[in-house]
């Protein structure tokens, strides 16, 4: 008579992906250049935090500069 409704999986906001580059905010690493503050994501944890290659511990999204997907494209000359 009553059927269970299938629950839709909850979609989490995914702000990072493995192998993408993220840059720590300058306030967290003062005196370092952007290149020195940039690391590659090793793993995205279920809680939204990330683990990085060559950098200890887990870090949350607010530790990094906002992601600009067009940064690499903006520096290239247009055809």
The pTM score is 0.71
CA angle in degrees (0–180, nearest 5) for 43-26-55:
30
pLDDT digits (tens, 9 = 90+) for 53-75: 999 999 999 999 998 767 666 56
- Residue 48: Cβ within 10 Å count: 14
More confident residue, 14 or 63: 63
**Separation of alpha carbons 16 and 62, rounded Å:** 12
């Amino acid at each position: 008579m009553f059927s269970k409704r299938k629950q839709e999986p909850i979609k989490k906001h995914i702000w990072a992906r493995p192998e993408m580059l993220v840059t720590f905010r300058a306030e967290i690493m003062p005196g370092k250049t952007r290149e020195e503050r940039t690391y590659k994501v090793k793993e995205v944890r279920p809680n939204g935090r990330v683990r990085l290659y060559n950098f200890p511990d887990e870090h949350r999204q607010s530790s990094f500069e906002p992601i600009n997907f067009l940064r690499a494209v903006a520096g290239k000359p247009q055809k």
